[in-house]
């Protein structure tokens, strides 16, 4: 009888393990996904076509076009093509998911329900009060990893940062700018902001009283890390 119970326990554990693996979102390769992010971002004009707009009220998603997930529209685009920083980075992420799956014959990150998509976007925007925004959404949903070492950040990573003046920004990492001693002085990124009249690249100061607070720069990488990256953890 004890042997029979042991067998039942083992069978249950195997079934439970298989169910858990089936429910876990299949992750894209991080290198390939980053290339999709950059490709999608490069498709936007940087001449003010998609202007910056941040309404003080309402539930506008801040996206330039309809956002499609797994064949279903999950957000309606602005009729004038306007956007804000959280909206455009989320839009690029969602489009990159579709791009990756189309070019890799994959179903990566295609397991969410409409409610889960809404919750992911809610966290991405920081609407739940968590100031880490993108970082919180990505780690909560298990779709990527924190980039703990700033030197490891690379184009295609997603970033949420805060400034000394209390304002924040959502963007896609491009590069650090350093002085002759190697100290980080600026952050180069892609997003939508007033300074560039909407979607474009921008370079912003790190460390001055009103500039980016380096300890409040939260960087994440989408997808499954390569073997070399995993060995660093």
Mean pLDDT confidence for 90-107: 96
3-class secondary-structure state, position 205: strand
3-class secondary-structure state, position 79: coil
Q: Do residues 27 and 108 make contact, with C-beta atoms less than 8 angstroms apart?
A: yes
pTM score: 0.87
User: Which tens digit of pLDDT belongs to each residue from 177-202?
Assistant: 999 999 999 999 999 999 999 999 99
Contacts of 168 (CB under 8 A, 6+ apart): 126, 131, 133, 160, 161, 162
Q: Please list the residues that pair with 187 across neighbouring strands.
A: 176, 204
Q: In the chain, helix, strand, coil percent, each to 5?
A: 35, 25, 35
Band of residue 19 on the pLDDT scale cut at 50, 70, 90:
very low
Better-scored residue on pLDDT, 9 or 97: 97
Q: Do residues 67 and 91 make contact, with C-beta atoms less than 8 angstroms apart?
A: yes
Helix extents (H) in 43-171:
85-104, 114-124, 134-140
Q: Do residues 197 and 52 make contact, with C-beta atoms less than 8 angstroms apart?
A: yes
| Structure confidence at residue 24 (pLDDT) | 56
User: Which tens digit of pLDDT belongs to each residue from 136-174?
Assistant: 999 999 999 999 999 999 999 999 999 999 999 999 999
Band of residue 23 on the pLDDT scale cut at 50, 70, 90:
low
Comparing 17-21, 70-74, 86-90, the range with the smallest average pLDDT is 17-21
| Structure confidence at residue 94 (pLDDT) | 98
Find tokens 């400034």 and name the residue: 163
| Structure confidence at residue 20 (pLDDT) | 36
| Structure confidence at residue 65 (pLDDT) | 98
| Structure confidence at residue 56 (pLDDT) | 79
| Structure confidence at residue 59 (pLDDT) | 82
Contacts of 233 (CB under 8 A, 6+ apart): 145, 225
**Distances 208 to 184, 185, 205, 215 between C-alpha atoms, Å:** 12, 9, 7, 13
| Structure confidence at residue 225 (pLDDT) | 75
Comparing 46-60, 122-136, 169-183, 215-229, the range with the smallest average pLDDT is 215-229
Identify which of 47, 75, 74 has the alpha carbon closest to the alpha carbon of residue 61: 75
3-class secondary-structure state, position 100: helix
Q: Do residues 177 and 188 make contact, with C-beta atoms less than 8 angstroms apart?
A: yes
| Structure confidence at residue 4 (pLDDT) | 39
Q: Do residues 156 and 172 make contact, with C-beta atoms less than 8 angstroms apart?
A: yes
Q: Do residues 76 and 69 make contact, with C-beta atoms less than 8 angstroms apart?
A: no
Report d(CA 46, CA 114) in Å as an integer.
31
Comparing 18-27, 125-134, 202-211, 214-223, the range with the smallest average pLDDT is 18-27
| Structure confidence at residue 182 (pLDDT) | 96
| Structure confidence at residue 227 (pLDDT) | 52
Residue 6: both structure tokens together? 């042991």
Q: How many CB atoms lie within 10 A of CB 150?
A: 13
Band of residue 226 on the pLDDT scale cut at 50, 70, 90:
low
Flag whether pLDDT at 229 surpasses 90.
no
């Amino acid at each position: 009888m004890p042997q029979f119970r042991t067998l039942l326990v083992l069978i249950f554990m195997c079934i439970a393990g298989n169910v858990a693996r089936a429910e876990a979102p299949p992750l894209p390769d991080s290198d390939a996904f980053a290339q999709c992010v950059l490709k999608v971002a490069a498709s936007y004009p940087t001449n003010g076509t998609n202007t910056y707009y941040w309404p003080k009220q309402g539930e506008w998603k801040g996206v330039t076009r309809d956002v499609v997930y797994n064949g279903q529209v999950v957000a309606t685009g602005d009729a004038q093509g306007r956007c804000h920083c959280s909206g455009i980075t989320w839009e690029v992420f969602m489009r990159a998911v579709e791009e990756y799956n189309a070019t890799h014959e994959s179903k990566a990150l295609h397991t969410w329900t409409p409610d889960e998509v809404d919750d992911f976007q809610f966290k991405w925007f920081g609407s739940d009060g968590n100031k880490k925004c993108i970082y919180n959404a990505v780690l909560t949903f298990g779709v990527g990893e924190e980039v703990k070492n700033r030197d490891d950040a690379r184009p295609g990573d997603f970033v949420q940062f805060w400034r000394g003046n209390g304002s924040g920004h959502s963007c896609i990492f491009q590069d650090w700018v350093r002085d002759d001693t190697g100290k980080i002085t600026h952050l180069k990124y892609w997003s939508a902001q007033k300074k560039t009249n909407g979607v474009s690249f921008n370079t912003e100061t790190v460390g001055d009283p009103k500039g980016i607070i380096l300890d409040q720069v939260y960087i994440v990488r989408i997808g499954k890390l390569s073997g070399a990256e995993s060995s660093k953890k």
